[in-house]
Structure 1
Amino acid sequence: MSVLQNDLPRPIIDELVRAALLEDLGRAGDVTSQACLPAGARAEAVIRARVPGTIAGLPLAEAAFRQIGDGLAFHAAITDGHRVQPGDVVARIAGPALLLLSAERVALNFLTHLSGIATATQTYADAIAHTSAKVTCTRKTLPGLRAVQKYAVRKGGGSNHRFGLDDAILIKDNHIAVCGGVVEAVRAAKAYAGHLMAIEIEVDTLDQFALILALPDAERPDVVMLDNMPPETLAKGVAMNQEAGGKPVILEASGGITLETIAGVAESGVDYISSGWLTSSAPSLDLGLDIDID
């Protein structure tokens, strides 16, 4: 197996891939390959891109071919984050045909899904490259896949929002409703949080934002999310932030972000643009695995 450059801990990769292989193999393994393939058959396979995109998930594909059994050699032609064109070779696999075919779908499922996320993120990032804004993801991830989906966002040129409910405070509209207002919610969070825990609050109107900016620096949250606001309203929010005095808060825009709207949102001057679509709905990247028999 080749050593791939990635920033995902191997235990995370191996646990996800093992669960996927167990799900696919069921109780008897790949009965189609067992029934049809000649004993001892060997094969070579090539994974190629069929469309343009950005690759992510090679460490998981490698793990699928590694965990299925001994004897397969996996060689990545590129590393995650690499942009490909139709026909580009992504990886080569060689060894026992039974093992290769038994792991093929699990490997491709991870690779096409994560490459789709990386490609969507790269497309968004390219659209706002002329600004200082950054694309970030959300917690709208598939159960069990958050770590690898957020990894794919990074490989596509985006950044990661919080990973879960426990690593940052994000006060949303329902929290505000129960607390009685934005100021009350922020003050409660400030009283609870330790010095290493960031606080973000979501506001729906610039009037709510004005209440936040009226607070002393020590009482302000670290980040304010301007939710579902058009670019012209966002630009007003950016101006308010700069003119309020004291230390400006970090501004994040969210809500209904698309490829058609993201440039206008970024040009408003916000710092971050969050999109749940990147991890919840980005289409898989079309990659194919073709086999040549020895």
Structure 2
Amino acid sequence: MTVFISDEEISKFIQEDVPYFDLTTLALGIAEKKGKITYHTRHETVACGTEEAARVLEKCGAKVTTLVPSGSLLSDGELMLEAEGAAGTLHTAWKVSLNLLEYMSGVATRTNKLVTLARRENPNITVAITRKIFPGTKSLSVKAVLAGGAHLHRLGLSETVLVFKQHLVFMGGLSEFLHQLEALKIECKEKKIGIEVDNEAQAFEVAEAGVDMVQFDKIPANDLTKTVSNLKAKYPSLQIAAAGGINGENVREYAATGVDILVTTWPYFGKPADIQAKMHTLDIVV
């Protein structure tokens, strides 16, 4: 899985934790001893960040000997990553690499759970994860979402036309937006036009006007089922998305409504994966 994460980012991750040197390893006099570090799962995990963790280890001077690709579904106790090198090198890379593995694998594992549950109800549904991430972590978050089998709702404001109530405040309301819709479609010929709606009446109004997608926000799944059926009957090519509060507990219910897309932030908020990092000496002990 290829997501561009620059050498500068990798170096920054290391420098945040090791601004100059590892004082403890140096003071103990063990920096030059030979060893290896292993990373094992402690529960079923979708691996993610192994490539970035390996780059951290290599930048610090270690040699990676085993790497399980991001996106791999692992059982409890499986080896994800292994590297050899001097003890000073391994300790310098230890926590940074583990943090990458645990946080990215945590997001990937929750994403995979969401996609798996949704597709049990609707095999053709798309699960799209929002850009509501902690600032500075976009490249890592994007990779974790893709590793978990989902898509990105919007990578940024520059790529899609998605109209919210906040936009309509400055336009004079929905009626003025509809008045300008044809001009907008001419202006943005390469892009589909989507709009967030509050209810079925608004959805029919904008669908009739020719939008490509409607996004329902915080509509209960029970209410959405009939609305989706009615819209699909009249506008079969209309894409319908549901957003707001979709999580691991209710995702199957929302997937069963017949919507095309589930939009959620849920995978970003939860515990990191639990991964065991263990040091081993390779020095001969007499």
2:158 and 2:166 map into 1 onto residues whose CA distance is 18
What is the deviation of 1:14?
A: 2.1
What is the deviation of 1:282?
A: 3.0
Residues 1:186 and 1:278: Cα distance change in structure 2 (over 3 Å): farther
Aligned mate of 1:240, from 226, 230, 252: 230
What is the deviation of 1:236?
A: 2.2
Match of residue 157 from structure 2:
165
What do the CA deviations read for 1:96-151 (whole angstroms, capped 9, x no partner)? 11011101111111111110011001111111222121211001011121122122
What is the deviation of 1:186?
A: 5.3
2:249 and 2:153 map into 1 onto residues whose CA distance is 22
Match of residue 48 from structure 2:
56
What is the deviation of 1:180?
A: 2.6
Aligned mate of 2:196, from 202, 210, 214: 202
Aligned mate of 2:257, from 244, 268, 272: 268
The gaps in structure 1 that reach 5 residues or longer are 1-5
What is the deviation of 1:232?
A: 2.3
The gaps in structure 2 that reach 5 residues or longer are none
Name the SS for the 1:162 alignment partner: coil
What is the deviation of 1:183?
A: 4.4
What is the deviation of 1:206?
A: 1.4
Q: Does the CA contact (< 8 Å) of 2:34 and 2:87 recur in 1?
A: yes
What is the deviation of 1:15?
A: 2.6
Residues 1:259 and 1:39: Cα distance change in structure 2 (over 3 Å): closer
Amino acid paired to 2:208: A
2:198 and 2:273 map into 1 onto residues whose CA distance is 35
Aligned mate of 1:252, from 238, 241, 247: 241
Q: Does the CA contact (< 8 Å) of 1:175 and 1:185 recur in 2?
A: no
Q: Does the CA contact (< 8 Å) of 1:116 and 1:285 recur in 2?
A: yes
Match of residue 105 from structure 1:
95
What is the deviation of 1:228?
A: 0.6
Amino acid paired to 1:204: D
Residues 1:189 and 1:120: Cα distance change in structure 2 (over 3 Å): farther
Is 2:40 aligned against 1:40?
no
1:86 and 1:186 map into 2 onto residues whose CA distance is 54
Q: Does the CA contact (< 8 Å) of 2:103 and 2:273 recur in 1?
A: yes
Aligned mate of 1:83, from 73, 78, 86: 73
Match of residue 145 from structure 2:
153
2:31 and 2:250 map into 1 onto residues whose CA distance is 56
Residues 1:205 and 1:259: Cα distance change in structure 2 (over 3 Å): same
Amino acid paired to 1:86: D
Q: Does the CA contact (< 8 Å) of 1:183 and 1:211 recur in 2?
A: no
Residues 1:96 and 1:175: Cα distance change in structure 2 (over 3 Å): same
Is 2:280 aligned against 1:292?
yes
Aligned length: 278
What is the deviation of 1:33?
A: 1.6
2:270 and 2:213 map into 1 onto residues whose CA distance is 26
Tell me which stretches of 4 or more aligned residues in structure 1 moved more than 6 Å.
Answer: none
What is the deviation of 1:240?
A: 2.6
